[in-house]
Amino acid sequence: MNVLIVHAHPEPKSFTAALRDQAVDTLQSQGHQVRVSDLYEMNWNPVASAEDFSTRENPEYLVYALEQRLANKKQTLAVDIQQELDKLLWADLLILNFPIYWFSTPAILKGWIDRVLVSGICYGGKRFYDQGGLREKKALVTVTLGGREHMFGEGAIHGPLEDMLRPLLRGTLAYVGLDVLPPFVGWHVPYITHEARQAFLQCYRQRLETITEDQPMEFPRLNQFDDRLYPLT
Amino acid sequence: MNVLIVHAHPEPKSFTAALRDQAVDTLQSQGHQVRVSDLYEMNWNPVASAEDFSTRENPEYLVYALEQRLANKKQTLAVDIQQELDKLLWADLLILNFPIYWFSTPAILKGWIDRVLVSGICYGGKRFYDQGGLREKKALVTVTLGGREHMFGEGAIHGPLEDMLRPLLRGTLAYVGLDVLPPFVGWHVPYITHEARQAFLQCYRQRLETITEDQPMEFPRLNQFDDRLYPLT
């Protein structure tokens, strides 16, 4: 497989970075090709704006997705966006590797999503969910967080983690057609011992060694809905 | 009331901007004080990083929330963060006004959340949910989106919008103690007529005229959980 790891952590020596390195080592030793986009190191610009388009279909009024669609067709996407899009299209597996900030991605990674998941290629028209532009590729979300495992799940104080991650797992990754694998979670990371962190790294290695056999999560399929997207009964 | 509107849209003439202006006009005519943070116009930096701290408790290893806590105590928060935090602490009602990007906030607004909701004042220790640092204030999320209303809800293709917005409504706004009012939604905005947009603006005006009477959404309360945050049965 070709694997793209998009990594977003402001501390180069973080445990999140150790997870990134573990993934690179393990996946390469399994014979996969691996590329890493380290967003902080790249000084990635996360702000979707008119400056992303050197020429505009409509210079008077910005509809970001529309300009994306046309820039993609004319091959005039901004260089930083095109480079990331090329990596994404090259990849069979996308790993998003980040610490949870506010039950979500850090802004720098949200801006990778906003700018790189280009309309007209990743989604658009009826190309979404199982018909999305990135179908037949996979995605894995690898996160660290401060909370303990018992704070998540049915009846727990924060509810199921998958529910908190719904806009990412379902609304983004599944939406563009990716097969979304169950997230890998490093719990309570700021507060645990070195040994406990090593145990997470071992766990992650084992998970990655058999990642090609993992079953994706279930999400909506377009054949469950009619042409106007009303549910078929 | 004091009202802070945090506005995030890359197009100054957008319908989202019209909603912002409607809110300013309506709330001022009701006698409220209103301030606006227009994140694109301010060229807001959304990236949480070591550069946010002029002095560091630990210059060798960045724990962002820890440095926030200490910088807040020593009054050494970065100027742009402190200015926004002051506005937030001044406000009785926070309105987040934005177009949905990937079932979530645009990155520039996510970065306002990442950097301005400072640990040690907005949350930290047992100060979260109904005990959060911003309790007794209110929050309203005002969004525009491309989807039609029938695409959201139980059984609909994207499920309930409130579920998609859970990390924001529950994981962020309710987490810091805000009373979260039901979102105001402009459906299908890129595709509707001028008259339909005017109707949304009228709706929004009426909603805002009685906003002080709105009932907040229900979220967890700490007295439902024990000291280790296991649910009390």
Q: Measured between alpha carbons, how far is A140 from A169 in angstroms, rounded to an integer?
A: 9
- B contact residues 2-41, partner A, Cβ 8 Å cutoff: 10-11, 13-14, 40
Of A160, A217, A122, A175, the residue nearest B151 (C-alpha):
A175
Q: Measured between alpha carbons, how far is A212 from A93 in angstroms, rounded to an integer?
A: 9
Whole-Å CA distances, B226 to B120, B126, B128, B157, B233: 22, 11, 14, 37, 10
Q: What is the pLDDT of residues B93-117, one digit of tens each?
A: 999 999 999 999 999 999 999 999 9
Most B-contacting residue of A40, A128, A158, A194 (CB-CB within 10 A), to test interface: A158
In the three-class reduction of DSSP (H, G, I as helix; E, B as strand; rest coil), residue A27 is classed as: helix
- Helix/strand/coil (H, E, C) string of chain B? CEEEEEECCCCCCCHHHHHHHHHHHHHHHCCCEEEEEECCCCCCCCCCCHHHECCCCCCCCCCHHHHHHHHHHHCCECHHHHHHHHHHHHCCEEEEEEECECCECCHHHHHHHHHHCCECCCEECCECHHHCCCCCCEEEEEEECCCCHHHCCCCCCCCCHHHHCHHHHHHHHHCCCCEECCCEEECCHHHCCHHHHHHHHHHHHHHHHCHHHCCCCCCCCHHHECCCCCECC
pLDDT at A125: 87
pLDDT at A233: 78
Q: What is the pLDDT of residues A169-216, one digit of tens each?
A: 999 999 999 999 999 999 999 999 999 999 999 999 999 999 999 999
Mean pLDDT of B29-51: 98
Q: What is the pLDDT of residues A48-62, one digit of tens each?
A: 999 999 999 999 999
Query: Measured between beta carbons, which residues in chain B are less than 8 angstroms from residue A230?
Result: 150
Mean pLDDT of A84-112: 98
- A contact residues 151-180, partner B, Cβ 8 Å cutoff: 151, 155-159, 163-168, 170-172, 175
Q: What is the pLDDT of residues B210-231, one digit of tens each?
A: 999 999 999 999 999 999 999 9
Are A109 and A94 in contact by the 8 Å Cβ rule? The answer is no
Cβ distance of B10 and A157 shorter than 8 Å: no
Determine contact: A149 vs chain B, CB below 8 A: no
Backbone φ and ψ for A58, nearest 5 degrees, come out as -130, 95
What is the CATH T-level fold of the domain A2-224, as seen in this structure? Rossmann fold (3.40.50)
Q: What is the pTM of this model?
A: 0.98
In the three-class reduction of DSSP (H, G, I as helix; E, B as strand; rest coil), residue A184 is classed as: strand
Determine contact: A105 vs chain B, CB below 8 A: yes
End-to-end CA distance of chain A: 39
Query: Measured between beta carbons, which residues in chain A are less than 8 angstroms from residue B165?
Result: 167
pLDDT at A229: 94
Mean pLDDT of B141-151: 96
CA contacts within 13 A on the Cβ side of A222: 15
Q: Tell me the domain boundaries of chain A.
A: 2-224
Amino acid at B9: H
Query: Measured between beta carbons, which residues in chain A are less than 8 angstroms from residue B13?
Result: 61
Determine contact: A232 vs chain B, CB below 8 A: no
Query: Measured between beta carbons, which residues in chain B are less than 8 angstroms from residue A171?
Result: 102-104, 158, 164
- By C-alpha distance, the chain A residue nearest B223 is A157
Q: What is the pLDDT of residues A118-143, one digit of tens each?
A: 999 999 989 999 999 999 999 999 99
In the three-class reduction of DSSP (H, G, I as helix; E, B as strand; rest coil), residue A147 is classed as: coil
pLDDT at B125: 87
Instruction: Name B82's Cβ contacts closer than 8 Å, sequence gap at least 6.
Output: B75
Give me A122's structure tokens: 């990743």
For residue B193, with 0-12 CB atoms within 10 Å meaning exposed, 13-18 middle and 19 or more buried, which class applies? exposed
